[in-house]
Every structure is written in C-alpha cells, then in structure tokens.
Amino acid sequence: MSTLRRRFWAGVFALLSASLLPIPLSSAADLVSLRLDWTLSGYHLPFYWAKHKGYYATENLNVEIKEGAGSGKTVSLIAGQQDDIGLADYMLMAAGVAKGMKLKGVYAVVQNGAWAVISLADNPITKPQDLIGKSVAVTADHKALLDLLLAVNKIPPENTVFVNGQVDSFVSVVVGSPLDLMVRARQGKGKPLHFMQFEDFGVTPLGQGIVVHEQTIAQKPDLVARFVRATARGLNDVVKPENLEEGVDVAMRLAGTAEDRRESVKLQWQETVPRLQTKNSMGKPYGWMSEADWQESSEILLNTGAIEKPFPAANFYSNAFVPQR
C-alpha cells in the first residue's frame, strides 16, 4: 500500500474513532432557590408541577422550592439576594421598589389580587358601609389597602376598630387561607363565610407573581428566561381541568402538606384560575402584565400612602421573559 493511501485510510479511521467517542454530558444544572410567599396554597401548583414533570430539569435548572413566611419577608429576601427568585404580593414588591429596592415582577400568577373582607355568613358584611362600628382584623402590611377601600366608599376609618382578638371580620386574599375555613365549614367543622371582595367596590390591586432582583436579570438573563419558561409550561398544564387532581396530589406530596388540606388547596387553585388574567391582559399569554394594571396598582400605593410620590408603572415589571406562546 502506498504511503499516500496509508495516510488516507489513517485519516478515515481517525474520523471514525472520533465519531464513536462518548458525547460530553451537559454541564451541571444551575441551582435556583425559589422562595414562596407562604406554605402551600393553590396558586403554587404551577411551580410544583414544573418540578415534578421535569420542566425545570429540561431547562438545566435544579430548583429548590422553599416555603415562605409572608410576602414582606420574601420581598426582603430577594432584595437582599438571599434567594434567587421569589413569589410575592406585587403590591408589597412595588412599595419596596418605589423606596429603592432593585426588584422587578417578571411573571404574574394571580393578576387579580382578590382581596376581600371575610365575615360569618350569618352576620355578613356585604358592603363597605357595613363595616361601620365593626371590628376587623388586618395585618400591618395591608391595613393601608383596607383604608383605601373605606376612603373610596366614603367610610370614615375612625368608625372601624382594628383588633387582634374576637372580631367581626378579617381581611385576606380570597385564594388563600380563608378557603381552608370554607372547606371546614362544608365539612361541618366551622361556620359558613361571606366574602366581600374589594374589586366589587372600586379597589383592584395586582396579586402574586414572580419577583427577581435586577442584578440577577442583568447578570443571568438566560437563567431567568429558563425559569419563567418552565414555570409557564407548568401553569399551562395545571390550568387544564383534566390535570387538577394530579396537580394537587403533586403539590401536596412535594410540599409535605397534611392530607386534610387537600380540598382547600384544590379549591384555592380553582379560585385562582379565573384570576390568572385581568380584562387588560386577556388575549395575551398567562403571566403577561398590562401597564394599565400596574398604573392602577401604583395609584393605589400612592393613595394609601405606601409611596410618597407618583412612580412610573413601567419600572415595576418586565414582560421580556414571558413566553409568547
């Protein structure tokens, strides 16, 4: 065999050998800590579904889902970069942003904040005027929101007593813990409740959504995009009625939640679904936010004194990471 031919076949064998080498494995998945706002609530289902179905893993993410101790705490943790991504009340996040926190909302989950005054059905508070002379339990973070409801409906706030003991009513989100009480009532373990929703009386703040530090967005935009993409995929799955039972089962198991909360978590998600969009975001993908909604929320913050001066609504959020399909 000539030298030229030997060199030719040597080259062929080298190429074949190279093609048979193992394909290098992908780099280790990026670790991401997700801090929720509370213990398991129905609107957390998309995150647990995305983790269980491997959607985060497909995006090369290793997501640790951590329970929260309130939106205020979660906002502080993300602002301090102690967790990578948070799920929090957008009103509390926006108040922080207006005061200098470097945060942005990048994907809204509960777009309609769904706040309500909750009372016993046998002595219901059906309109703001019914609050006169009644006691109301409310957290410090959200007292300003109730004050605005009273002001919009021309109810003097001094006529309402705020206490922490036995009360006539309390303020909370419809998609949260009050539904635990509603389920207990259905089971004969408590009294039926009445929900007087803020939106029916002129106050419609945004709800819960994904919160990210601006530095994370600047330094790791691809990570944020992958996280939101996987979460959106999860939400688009669990919103389908045929996935409801499995979605609740998955979340309960991964969150380590007691079985007696199953019906509550299920009901919380069912009440969340109609609130995934507002009239201003209809026709857009889930998670996409309207500047009009943010402007209204900004005005609520201004009117409640949560912020001292008008703040550009566009500075609170970004739709850049919301999948367009």
> Which residues make beta-bridge pairs with 317?
105
Q: Is the pLDDT of residue 63 over 60?
A: yes
Q: In this predicted structure, what is the pLDDT of residue 59?
A: 98
Q: Using the Cα atoms of residue 44, residue 95, residue 149 and residue 319 in order, give the sign of their dihedral.
A: negative
What's residue 204's pLDDT?
84
Least confident of 151-155, 224-228, 230-234: 151-155
Q: What pLDDT score does 282 carry?
A: 95
Across 19-33, 82-96, 151-165, 178-192, least confident range: 151-165
pLDDT averaged over every residue in the chain: 87
| pLDDT band per the 50, 70, 90 thresholds, residue 19 | very low
Query: pLDDT category, 220, cuts 50, 70, 90?
Result: very high
Mean pLDDT, range 39-46, rounded to an integer = 96
**pLDDT one-digit tens code per residue, 142-201:** 777 788 788 888 876 543 433 334 788 888 888 887 788 888 888 888 888 899 988 888
Instruction: Delineate the domains of the chain, giving CATH numbers in brackets.
Output: 30-112+206-316 (3.40.190.10), 115-201 (3.40.190.10)
Is residue 319 over pLDDT 50? Answer: yes
pLDDT of residue 257: 95
**Arithmetic mean of pLDDT, 77-93:** 96
Q: Would you place residue 259 in the very low, low, confident or very high pLDDT band (cuts 50, 70, 90)? A: very high
pLDDT higher than 80, residue 270 = yes
**φ and ψ at 137, to 5 degrees?**
-90, 130
Confidence of residue 18 (pLDDT cuts 50, 70, 90): very low
Q: Please compute the mean of the pLDDT values over residues 31-59 and round it to a whole number.
A: 97
CA quadruple 164, 169, 174, 176: dihedral sign: positive
| Listed range (84-93, 150-159, 298-307) with the worst mean pLDDT | 150-159
- pLDDT, average across residues 314-320: 96
HEC string of the chain equals CCHHHHHHHHHHHHHHHHHCCCCCCCCCCEEEEEECCCCCCHHHHHHHHHHHCCHHHHCCEEEEEECCCCHHHHHHHHHCCCCCEEEEEHHHHHHHHHCCCCEEEEEECCCCCCEEEEEECCCCCCCHHHHCCCEEECCHHHHHHHHHHHHHCCCCHHHCEECCCCCCEEEEECCCCHHHHHHHHHCCCCCCEEEEEHHHHCCCCCCEEEEEEHHHHHHCHHHHHHHHHHHHHHHHHHCCHHHHHHHHHHHHHHHCCCHHHHHHHHHHHHHHHHHCCCCCCCCCCCCCCCHHHHHHHHHHHHHCCCCCCCCCHHHHECCCCCCCC
Q: What is the pTM of this model?
A: 0.85
Give 102-118 pLDDT, tens digit per residue: 999 999 999 987 788 99
Q: What is the pLDDT of residue 306?
A: 80
Mean pLDDT for the stretch of residues 211-228: 98
- Per-residue pLDDT band at 65 (split at 50, 70, 90): very high
Percent of the chain with pLDDT over 90: 58
Bridge partner residues of 63 (DSSP):
32
* 8: Cβ contacts below 8 Å, ≥ 6 apart: none
What letter represents residue 94's amino acid?
A
What pLDDT does residue 133 have?
A: 86
